[in-house]
Amino acid sequence: MAQAKKLISAVLDLDSALEFSENADPKFSTTGNEEELHKYLAEKFNSTKAGETTLQIEQRKAHFKWILPIVLEEAEEFHKQALKKAKAKDYTGAIHLWIKAISINAVDPDYYFNAGIAFFEKKNYREAIDNLEYALQLCPIYFKARLILGTVYLKLRKFEKAEQHLSESIAFNHTNTLALLNLATATSVLKKYDAGIALFKKITAINPKEVRAFFGLAKIYSLQNNIQDANVCYHKVLEIDPKGPLAPHAKRLIIAEKPAAKELKTNTNINISNYSNLDEMFSEAYSAYLFNDYNLAANLYKKYVSTKSDDEQAWYSLGEASLRCGFIETALNAFQKAAEINSSKALYYKQIALCLDYLERYKEALEAVKKAHEMGKNDSMLLTLYGKALLKNNKADKAVEMLTAALKRNKQNIAAEYHLAEAYIAQKQPDMAAEHLHWIMNSKLKTPLKAKADQLLASIKKES
């Protein structure tokens, strides 16, 4: 049964079309003939697949209406069910229902648009593009489809296509923050820095607390070697959202205008006042770490946390630098401080377990690694730590299970091979142990575990 007509309306801001696209059609300019402009727009946005488009131009704005004459109730019912599935993140089920809707009414752009989003969520970008492009063939003023299409191309690193679709989307909705952010990102990658700066500034004018825009500005200023403006923007990120995901990156990327690191190498009692602010100290510590000067990094992080003791990222970074220096107790204390501040990060407990393993405090190590595992950490190194801690706590059966899982995740994990051999010996299965030890001996990897494997093999032969 047919329902009433479907109406989609949109307003094209001609000035925005000129502002946000360097390839904007000159017909959009203020000097053009309005009659010619009307004819041009009517042809450009006329649907050749379905529906009828009407247009009215008033005060540099083109008001479009696209009408689909037939809407089928059965197809709409599938569409409504699909929206519920998508809201519940059941994208496969939603796509199946939209395909049913399309089979009943193949000219409704809503079905293709929403199916395109679902395919995008499933990372099936090819199908996403096909559906979104067809939605635009049916309804050329469907600017939301252009936004998602531009976003898909951005994901695929096809920046020119992303720029084209995002620019056209923004012409219809020039205050959409996501569209502006994505377009600014595309133009920045294409090294159109002036355009990127203008876009990011536009976003901050719309939303003065949009940290992604300030971070984007800072990155461009850094690339232009404009250190002062870059630092201002990085500080803005920290001011607006000090606990947000971009804050640690902003801290690291702040550039000290008067570095004091060289002085610290000969004077570990350097004053914090040598820096204009603590963030410069954090940034310099991060740079030292990147260039393998772990002692310098550790000293700088110590200075930082002595003043700002509630910064979990700084404590974690101090732990990493100290671990590289072999200061295990210091590293353990730092990771524990980070975990006290934020007990929801599995990584902190993994690093605590690693330190406790080095210190041969296996009972505590087992508690820490178990917590990290329960919180979702499941990499090969974590599973190896877990297996070893279980083994040291006389739980060989469970240790075999964890160490076998570690090897499934990384077949080159020599430590897992060695501890698995130890676990099989604890289970009185010397043949199984020998198999893993032989694998270590034949491995091309250079590791001190080869000598230990040789000794363990010798002891197995001696006892047999």
Residue 175 has a pLDDT of 85
Return the domain boundaries, the chain: 1-173, 175-255, 265-415
Residue 2 has a pLDDT of 44
Residue 18 has a pLDDT of 60
**Nearest CA to 50 among 69, 29, 25?**
69
What is the topology classification, in CATH, of domain 1-173?
1.25.40
Distance CA 341, CA 344 (A): 9
Q: What is the pLDDT of residues 356-394, one digit of tens each?
A: 999 999 999 999 999 999 999 989 999 999 999 999 999
| pLDDT surpasses 70 at 348 | yes
CATH classification code of 265-415 = 1.25.40.10
What does each C-alpha distance from 276 to 74, 281, 367 come to in angstroms? 67, 9, 42
The more confident residue out of 441 and 4 is 441
Q: Residue 380 in contact with residue 409, Cβ under 8 Å?
A: yes
Distance CA 463, CA 258 (A): 66
Quick one: CA torsion of 115, 121, 122, 127, rounded to 10 degrees?
40
Q: How confident is the model at residue 21 (pLDDT cuts 50, 70, 90)?
A: low
Are both 1-173 and 175-255 of the same fold?
yes
Q: What is the pLDDT of residues 247-273, one digit of tens each?
A: 888 887 877 554 444 444 444 454 555
Residue 95 has a pLDDT of 95
Average pLDDT over residues 172-179: 87
Residue 444 has a pLDDT of 79
Own/partner pairs, 454-460, CB within 8 angstroms, 24+ separation: 456/418, 456/421, 456/422, 456/425, 460/425, 460/430, 460/433, 460/434
Residue 266 has a pLDDT of 43
Q: Which amino acid is located at 140 in the chain?
A: P
CATH classification code of 175-255 = 1.25.40.10
Q: Supply the DSSP string of 69-137, one letter for each residue.
A: S-EEHHHHHHHHHHHHHHHTT-HHHHHHHHHHHHHH-TT-HHHHHHHHHHHHHTT-HHHHHHHHHHHHH
Residue 412 has a pLDDT of 87
Residue 174 has a pLDDT of 83
| pLDDT surpasses 80 at 94 | yes
The more confident residue out of 463 and 98 is 98
Q: What is the pLDDT of residues 183-202, one digit of tens each?
A: 999 999 898 989 899 999 99
Q: Supply the DSSP string of 126-190, one letter for each residue.
A: HHHHHHHHHHHHH-TT-HHHHHHHHHHHHHTT-HHHHHHHHHHHHHH-TT-HHHHHHHHHHHHHT
Q: Which amino acid is located at 410 in the chain?
A: N
Residue keyed to tokens 């902190």: 348
